[in-house]
Amino acid sequence: MIVSKMTPQERILQLRSELHEHNHRYYVLNSPSISDYDFDMLLKELQELEAQNPDMYDPTSPTMRVGSDITREFAQVAHKYPMLSLGNTYSKAEVADFFDRVKRALNEDFEICCELKFDGTSISLTYTDGKLVRAVTRGDGEKGDDVTANVRTIRSVPLVLKGSGYPAEFEIRGEVLMPWSVFDRLNEERERNGEPLFANPRNAASGTLKLQDSAVVAKRGLDAYLYFMLGEELPADGHYENLMAAGQWGFKVSDTTCKCSTLDEVFAFIDRMDVERKNLPFATDGIVLKVNSLRQQKNLGYTAKSPRWAIAYKFQAEKALTRLNEVTYQVGRTGVVTPVANLDPVQLSGTVVKRASLHNADIIEKLDLHVGDMVYVEKGGEIIPKITGVDVDSRFMLGEKVTFITKCPECGTPLVRMAGEAAHYCPNYTACPPQIKGRIEHFISREAMNIDSMGPETVELLFNYNLIKDISDLYSLQAEDLMFLPRMGAKSAENIVASIKESLNVPFERVLFALGIRFVGATVAKRLVRAFLNMDALMSATLEQLIAVDEIGGRIAASVIEFFAKEANRELVSRLMDAGLQFAIEEHQVQDRTDILNGQSIVISGVFAHHSRDEYKAMIEKNGGKNVGSVSKSTSFILAGENMGPSKLEKAEKLGVRLVNEDEFLAMLGK
């Protein structure tokens, strides 16, 4: 009778509330309170009422979980907080090293939060006033794809939060997973339909999340576990405590997560999970260890690639025995020749392995490989298969001994091996096809120029049709050049040309990385750009000037000089400059730079009140100083916080290096 007296608007609100609760009980708590039929009937009623009352549209309604067959391009969204990767460890000794580093750096009591490392695809969810407003993939760590419509179909992700006490706006990160049961069912369906099978649940989850049709995503049965909260007004200083609060608000948080105060407790958690992981309904490949206090996390700060307050421990890889049939060779973009073992197919860590890396000539010689050998294969970090040994007892007919080739398998050029290096190289930099194509693929990649309408297949097509011979040729392409190529229509051609044009806005540091200079990764490129400001200065830099840049060693410096010493590379840069690429740091980044700390080498140690270590490092660089990690005679001073490391303090006193507190340091900079 009560229902009949309700207005349609009131009934819609009631049904939404009830269905959100039933979703939570079924998909998060695993404790349903009504039958599937009853749930479907309530959902059907809500769908009909919403259709009759379009003014009641709400993107967080439970009806949004069924998805839509409207296709759309994914917009790219910048992360408010960069999504960095974690450093990996593979032994308890390395875990102990991490624990000791944290202990020395903090010089105070701390706790470690231990969590499972889920083997899925990373996601960042933003909530405003208790409602899901955006879901973004990890992407390159700086920005990712907006997949909100697809994530709304994942029933373990709350569209509207339960309870109270959550911040007005916050971000929560986690992993989108495909459970083993769903993965097996999906592959059975694909096999029946004659479609290629997914290699593992991680690939299946990632591929599903990027589908354009959210209605298909809804049918795939993805799951999501959340494990990290960020924001300005979080409920607690403890990471673990924030996760427990998130569980109360409706998020799916692993019940295996726990806090540890000692290294022995951490090891006990690792041992327990190494056994229990084999019974979990989803794939996991390790443990994540995080310093629990957010205050302590901030003081520990970050390296260029990962936080100092967290680390991933990878479980020991599975091993399988299979037959070696042949060794082939691949040529990379820098000319490195990598031997690849071709194997009888074998199941390993949830995937079928047919090929494995042999790395270099020394590894082949050490293994004493022969064609036909039974070899042990495992996954390094459960990702890249590699051969780790030979079952010599199973040899009954000794096949041909595997010896490393002497000429490039692609262009026939004699290979070279640099002194002190393990790899062989093809020196035919300008004419070896896989090197040229590899450099173009690197150039267009998301982390570099982000020409996202192209991929390896398009590069192959354009190269084979002589439309591109190097990266500069990309900027001469016209849509009419492309639209008549195989599998290429007018729209695709226009998208490629538009994406190439958009890449003219990519900042200098990524352009430098995109050039593919050996040993110059994304982090090194940033260092060089901040030091030299423009390409002309970098190209004319001496070995001594390059080595003077923080974290640039002799090997990197020599590689940069060698690259720009080649006339072909200088001409390439000139063509790219003419095309309009960014070859100087933006003006606003230069304006704040000073020479206040010019020529000074500064060590940072201790815990700070006003800024994090990373913020102080940035200030030092911006004002002309150099960050160094250890105290020596050449150290200008130590920026010293509370609980400074005793070994650094002792060495400073011994060498007469002065200590500067953070207030004095900020005063130096006029702050």
Successive 10-residue mean pLDDT values, the chain, 671 residues:
68 86 72 72 84 84 65 76 85 94 92 94 95 91 88 93 94 94 83 69 86 82 94 94 96 95 96 87 90 94 85 84 95 90 84 85 93 87 74 87 96 90 89 94 91 88 94 95 87 92 94 93 87 94 90 89 94 97 80 82 88 86 82 92 82 92 92 77
Q: Helices then strands (H, E): number in the chain?
A: 26, 21
Separation of CA 653 from chain center: 42
Give 426's contacts (C-beta < 8 A, 6+ positions apart): 331, 335, 337, 408, 410, 411, 413, 415, 432, 435
What DSSP string describes 590-602? HHT---TTTT-EE
Give pLDDT, residue 348: 75
293 C-beta neighbours (distance < 10 Å), count: 23
In order of 75, 238, 510, the CA distances from 589 in angstroms are: 27, 35, 15
How confident is the model at residue 579, as a pLDDT? Answer: 97
* Per-residue pLDDT, 193: 66
Tokens linked to 105: 């750096």
Catalytic status, residue 117? yes
CA 322, 327, 330, 336 torsion-angle sign: positive
Give CA–CA dist 584/443, Å, rounded. 18
Instruction: Round to whole Å and give the CA distance between 521 and 634.
Output: 28
DSSP state at residue 75: P
Predicted pLDDT of residue 381 = 45
Residue reference for tokens 């690939």: 203
Which letter does DSSP use for residue 218 in this model? H
pLDDT of the residue at 69: 45
Q: What is the pLDDT of residue 383?
A: 53
Tens of pLDDT, residue by residue over 544-561, are 999 988 778 898 999 999
Which residue is catalytic, options 5, 92, 117, 648? 117
Spatial CA neighbour of 426 closest among 518, 334, 516: 334
> Please, what are the domains in the chain?
2-66 (1.10.287.610), 106-262+278-309 (3.30.470.30), 317-425 (2.40.50.140), 433-505 (1.10.150.20), 508-590 (1.10.150.20), 601-668 (3.40.50.10190)
